[in-house]
Structure 1
Amino acid sequence: MTSTQQVTTAAGDGFRRAAGHPWFHRLSRAGLAARGAIYLLIGWLAVQIGLGDGGEQADKKGALQLVGEKPGGTVVLWALTLGFLGLALWRFSEAAYGQPQADGRKPVKRLASFGRGVFYTAAFAGMLGFVLGQGGQSSDQQSHSYTARAMEHPGGRWLVLAVGLGFVAWGIGNIVGAVRRTFLKKLRPMGPTAAPVVKTLGIVGRSARGLVFGGVGVFLARAAIAFDPNQARGLDGTLREFAGTPAGPWLLVAVALGLVVFGAYSLCEARWRKVEAAR
């Protein structure tokens, strides 16, 4: 075995031991709690927009701004940021070693974990920039700028379309999984009181999240088809589009409350989610 292979093997063994450490599991659960807090805030901001009393953007940046304005907000912001780092590392450990369920080692499951790891890494990087005072872009600004930069390159238009379709598929998968209750396989056994509550929160919350991110994907796909990056929408812009439907602002309020429910479900996941890598 060459020295490079020895170093690679040692690094892999080290990450495997770290991924199995109780403190790594606690960091993963802290990440789920941080995600829950962010969605509670985003949902609340979106409810205010639907009721005509919201100036903040209903996305991660708006949520972070809301936290930062409160006493002790800087400490909370750092805790949330580190939580999202925990989410990213946890998902990458699942990509490397498999999810803790019967079919968790399947390539499609590990690839899905890797994609989520990339997603949470980007979220962590954006949050870190915000905490360090670099401001950061809103979800709509990010969507416009990333789409525009991608379309400047050959094949970029098709990449945007692929990402948009990926979000649509992810959203549909969330809704289908919520209806079929497959998410329950990822949770540890619960008591007779908690189980029906968590199941209801999961069905409603995951459906709402799937609907919103499916909408984000639709706008990305539309931007690619029209070759117009301004048609892309982030989380805030997608939520506001619900208010423009025939159902009016009340549909936005309903979807926003669904995101609040997903935030509550994420807090439950912080308690009962299986976060150990497959053995």
Structure 2
Amino acid sequence: MTNPDFARYAIRHPDGRWLYHLPRTDPHTTIAILADGQPLTQIGTTHWWATDHEATRITTVTKTSPKTTKYVLEDPDTASVKYPAELTVEQWQERRQLNGGTTPERLWELYRSITVEQPPTETHIDGTFTVLEGGEPPAPGGPTWTVNLLDSITQRPEYQHLFPGRLHGLREHIIALIKRMPRVTHCFDGFQDSTAVYVDLRVPYEQPETRFVRDISHRTGKTLKTGRNRPVTVSRTLHLPIPTTVTGDNYAAALAEWDRQVAFWTQAVADANVAACNHCRGTGHVPTGAEQYTASK
């Protein structure tokens, strides 16, 4: 997946360092953040990273999930026409489709998956970066800084769409889209004072599981002996640092970037909407897409 245009500026610090503001990464899956192959140094706990030279390419290296290559019988001596010694990934998927999109329970009882490790995933942000002269950004809690632009532009609104500016409401727009996506149970802003958008999905297991839930008496409020089997699901949460605005050199450029950002964040949620592994109880899911940018308080 190609990242949105988060970073196209570099600050040339008076002490000789070059500073870059980068997307938040997940420390559990991030292997390295490089500027032209050399490690970047994070400035405190901020999103700012420093290097000793002007970068032409910034690379984030993250872990990749192992790839399933085939499925083999736990006991080869039980091989039959219906249950051969091996199933290819394509054959496994065909049987899932014939079973309504879920893996038949019998397959999990008879087969185990064979996986191979995959090389790390590299995500690139290529220059050229616009160079700005100055120091580090204002520290939190300091005086509010407001940038001054040319007053003459604001006096001629008919020409404003031809000049640099920003589109507002991106975060609210994407939240509304995510709320309508399959298996999304919650999506809102400001969860526990976080700056990120909180998304919760309830995904089933690859091998469907159920649990018996007793009925509640409407009259007494007590648990009854009757009940029903209900699917067991796993909660998968995302913390997405979705921007509130989109900037551009002009209105058309900003609108194109708006569309790219919408596609990126909605795809990140779609990538997380995968069935959980029964063997690891859903904890072995390797974050992809925006899960790599988990934001803390």
TM-score range, shorter chain: under 0.3
Bigger proportion of residues as helix: 1
Point out which structure has higher relative CO (alpha carbons under 8 A, 6+ apart). Answer: 1
- TM-score, normalised to structure 2, is 0.24
Bigger proportion of residues as strand: 2
- TM-score, normalised to structure 1, is 0.26
Asked which structure has the greater CA Rg, the reply is: 2
